[in-house]
Amino acid sequence: MNAMVFKEACLHFAEVAAPYMPIRDPTHYEEALALIEGLLEEAEDSADDPLNIVIDMLSRAIAAYEQQDATLASFATQPADEPADLALLRVLMSQHQLGVADLPEIGSKSMVSRVLSGQRSLSKQHIKALANRFGINPGLFF
């Protein structure tokens, strides 16, 4: 391949990849996440697979967007600031759009509030019931 053909291929790639590198809006962010998921399924676990280079570039673009978006950045740091069980509980509540009244596995609204504020801890029974409800491994709470 001569330099001119390579340059033309790079320019074409840059034109096609423009919405994703860098990512500038939530629509392209969601598209990039879907795209990388598909690429991860297709790529071979080999350094020779050219899809791995594209995955790496797309991963960097996604990470850069997540760091510049205030909502995503705060979401990423929030779980690291608290114990694993509370972080997981908050993520589950957020993902399933649940409030303190929506967790009978823990008990009353006031009990859920005390757990979320750190005044009370999740018991083994709470963890087992929550893991069963959400179909996750109870070990994720530890």
CA–CA distance, 123 with 12 (Å, rounded to integer)? 57
Q: For residues 130 and 142, what is the distance between their CA atoms, to the nearest angstrom?
A: 13
pLDDT the model gives residue 76: 60
Please tell me the predicted confidence (pLDDT) of residue 80.
Answer: 58
Q: Taking a C-beta distance cutoff of 8 angstroms, is the pair 62, 118 a contact?
A: no
CA–CA distance, 29 with 19 (Å, rounded to integer): 9
- Average pLDDT of 83-110? 89
Map out the domains of the chain with their CATH numbers: 3-75 (no CATH), 79-141 (1.10.260)
Contact between 88 and 49 (Cβ < 8 Å): no
